[in-house]
């Protein structure tokens, strides 16, 4: 399986603190994506980082990618209670047109007011 694996499985922090989640994957990729899932809802795309990028920002989100270690991290700065959700990384097959997309088990983030 090319499934990404997020770490930690659960993270609990106070509002205003930063939250860092990590993702490891197994094979070559052309990009890596992060998604968010609020309880009971479908996943929503957050950010995509290409294999030739090392860092990317979007608002309070910062994503890094280290292809040599096959790992990525998602940093949420100045967390808010509304950031409470599960976060998943997703990878696909490099060079394939079949379009498979694999997700990890996710990190459950809880932000306390």
The residues that touch other proteins, with contacts defined as CB under 8 A, are: 1, 3, 6, 29-31, 33, 35, 40-45, 48, 50, 88, 90-92, 97-106
Residue with Cβ nearer other proteins (1 or 68): 1
Residue number with CB closer to other proteins (16 or 61): 61
* Structural tokens at position 62: 């910062």
Provide the minimum distance between the beta carbon of 97 and other proteins in the complex, in angstroms, as a whole number. Answer: 7
Give the other-Cβ count within 10 Å of 94's Cβ: 12
Beta bridge partners of 47: 34
Of the pair 35, 83, the CB lying nearest other proteins is at: 35
User: How many other C-beta atoms are found inside a 10 Å radius of the C-beta of residue 71?
Assistant: 18
């Amino acid at each position: 399986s090319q499934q990404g694996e997020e770490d930690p499985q659960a993270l609990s922090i106070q509002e205003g603190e930063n939250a860092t989640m990590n993702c490891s994957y197994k094979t070559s990729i052309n990009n890596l994506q992060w998604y968010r899932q609020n309880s009971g809802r479908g996943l929503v795309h957050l950010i995509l980082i290409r294999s030739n990028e090392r860092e990317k920002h979007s608002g309070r989100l910062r994503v890094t990618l280290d292809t040599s270690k096959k790992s990525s991290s998602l940093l949420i700065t100045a967390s808010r209670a509304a950031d409470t959700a599960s976060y998943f990384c997703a990878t696909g097959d490099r060079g394939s047109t079949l379009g498979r997309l694999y997700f990890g088990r996710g990190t459950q983030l809880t932000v306390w007011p």
